[in-house]
Structure 1
Amino acid sequence: MTAPTGPGRESVAVVIVTYNRADLLVRMLDGLAAQTHRPDVVVVVDNASTDHTAQVLAARTDLPLQVITSPDNLGGAGGFHLGTKTAYEAGYDRIWLVDDDTVPAPDCLAVLMAADEDCLMVVREDLTGALVEKSALRFDLANPLAIRPKTASVDSTYASRAEMPERVAVENVAFEGFMARRCVIDEVGLPDPSFFIFYDDVDFAVRARRSGRTIWALRDAVLVRQLDFNQQHDLSGWKGYFMYRNLFVVHLRYGENLLVRLKPLLITLAVVLLSPVRGGRAEAGNVTRAMRDAWGMRAVPGTASPRR
């Protein structure tokens, strides 16, 4: 499927990555079908699902679906890389990245398309209507004493959507409603598939901002999360490895001074020294392996490099 053309009209591709969440995916697709601004294509990357995802997708004749079924689970990062690459190469003007556990309000895409900006972010809420937008107002890669680079987020700054201004500049995003024009990909490249999960969206946002762009979160672009927002993971488990490794990669690639780029080494040392009182050897093993592997990822790979 190729992008439609027409004077004064921008085409838009929606990219969804899904893995074994067919029932949640139904709600997301229902939300897209109800949009007042119809997407030109919906690219769905199925990450080797083993549930009834294929049947759900086959039944959706109401949407312009392009389904890519991967034989392997590429992770969220690999899925968004593949979906974005597909939409970019088909010539779409804007690409909207959304997750399978979210549902857009009927006018969400219309609000985004009405904004003449290269990089946009929705503002997420939960099923109760509470603001849960975690995009950072400040993502600090300059201060070596900042234990966590995200020092302020939308939902830590504003108590509700009503208290927000119409636009808020943010410094990182989640691929749960982020939109970019193709000119951004021309200049900064595609999402990096080597992250597998976690921080691929942060990495892309840093690259976009370093190209001179502002990322605007639009108050009136509403996306509803279907699951609880829980980013607390077992740091001694497999997700903990990726959280450590990918956080370290962001510091190694984009730290604004030597001390910030050394933070991963200091964190590794601290976790290893404290491991006897933090749960034993598993987290220490994760963090040391993460540090070793992050060092090998400190350059943006060719698969994510600029397209021209």
Structure 2
Amino acid sequence: MTPGTPESVAVVIVTFNRADLLVGMLDALAQQTHPPDAVFVIDNASSDHTAQVLGRNDLPLRITTMPENLGGAGGFHLGVQQAYEAGFDRIWLVDDDVVPAPDCLATLMAQDEACLMSVREDTHGHLVEKAATRFDLRNPLAIKPKTGMVETEFGTRAAMPERVEIQNVAFEGFMVRRDVIDTIGFPDPSYFIFYDDVDFAVRARRAGYRIWAVRDAVLVRQLDFDQQHDLAGWKGFYMFRNLFVVHFRYGENLLVRLKPYLIALAVVLLSPVRGGRAEARNVIRAIGSARGMRRVPEPPPHRR
């Protein structure tokens, strides 16, 4: 980028069979006071009317329709790679079930920082930003590494300062400059769903970048957070496995890196009175799979 030239920004959206929600996301993008320079959409083999929803000409859409579902992680890996290789200065990652306020993108672009997070609320205006203010990979007694969240620390948007430093992100309104990708690489597609955003944030912070949640960058989440209730289903496997991967890769001491085995043992022992055999099978499979994912992704070759 030439000094003094405004930064370009590309949006990356990953979608799968949520055409009715995607409409709201695209409508909101079309109403941004700072229009995006490009909108990369990764359609993960949707079988609903997503193709019809994407047939609009009021946005600079660049659509990739996949023959199979790559998951959110694979979709964001591909979309970020496309935006990066197209040369955009900043990349804004958003899900198909969020609606940004008209000035959300402008508010983020006004911040001279490498890593930024929009702040989410629900459709009733309640703060639901679950990005971690503390993400502890040092204490082996912390069952979950997220020990503090924007939502629980502040309660309301009005109680927040203008910026809050956070330690992990969600790919629902996260903005990153291309120099971060130069340094740490792309989102890791092997996660499929869950924790790919956490992994990216941990890598960014370990490379010396700070991440800021911007109070006035408002993003409205259309759906409730309910995936934590599915530990015995197919999503449960990915939740267990990817949590374990983060510990194996980034645990700051041996006890933390061993914690997944203790969690798995506890889940198996407690399975008769809580998740049943399906949850026990998930956690056993998750340990085996996570052991094969301990390698941290490499940054891409520089293409300046």
Say whether residues 1:230 and 2:226 are aligned partners: yes
Kindly indicate whether the alpha-carbon contact (under 8 Å) linking 1:104 and 1:222 is maintained by their aligned counterparts in 2.
Answer: yes
Separation of aligned partners in 2, 1:175 and 1:148: 20
Query: What TM-score comes out, normalization by structure 1 length?
Result: 0.96
Kindly indicate whether the alpha-carbon contact (under 8 Å) linking 1:35 and 1:109 is maintained by their aligned counterparts in 2.
Answer: yes
Separation of aligned partners in 1, 2:224 and 2:268: 31
Query: What TM-score comes out, normalization by structure 2 length?
Result: 0.97
Say whether residues 1:294 and 2:290 are aligned partners: yes
Q: 1:247 aligns with which of 243, 246, 253?
A: 243
After the TM superposition, which residues 1-308 of structure 1 pair with which residues of structure 2 at under 5 Å, given as runs? Answer: 7-58=4-55, 60-301=56-297, 305-308=299-302
Letter in 2 for 1:71: P
SS at match of 1:282: helix
Gap regions ≥5 residues in structure 2? none
Instruction: Using the TM superposition, give the Cα deviation of residue 204 of structure 1 relative to its aligned residue in structure 2, in angstroms.
Output: 0.2
Kindly indicate whether the alpha-carbon contact (under 8 Å) linking 1:136 and 1:150 is maintained by their aligned counterparts in 2.
Answer: yes
Separation of aligned partners in 2, 1:6 and 1:64: 25
Deviations 1:62-96 (A, max 9, x none): 00000010000000000000000000000000000
Kindly indicate whether the alpha-carbon contact (under 8 Å) linking 2:71 and 2:192 is maintained by their aligned counterparts in 1.
Answer: yes
Separation of aligned partners in 2, 1:152 and 1:6: 38
Separation of aligned partners in 2, 1:234 and 1:130: 24
Separation of aligned partners in 2, 1:104 and 1:225: 9
SS at match of 1:219: strand
Structure 1 consecutive aligned stretches of length 4 or more whose deviation exceeds 6 Å: none
Deviations 1:226-261 (A, max 9, x none): 112223232111100000000000000000000000
Kindly indicate whether the alpha-carbon contact (under 8 Å) linking 2:185 and 2:297 is maintained by their aligned counterparts in 1.
Answer: no
Deviations 1:113-160 (A, max 9, x none): 000000000000011110000000000000000011000000001121
Gap regions ≥5 residues in structure 1? none
SS at match of 1:161: coil
Separation of aligned partners in 2, 1:125 and 1:84: 25
Kindly indicate whether the alpha-carbon contact (under 8 Å) linking 2:231 and 2:275 is maintained by their aligned counterparts in 1.
Answer: no
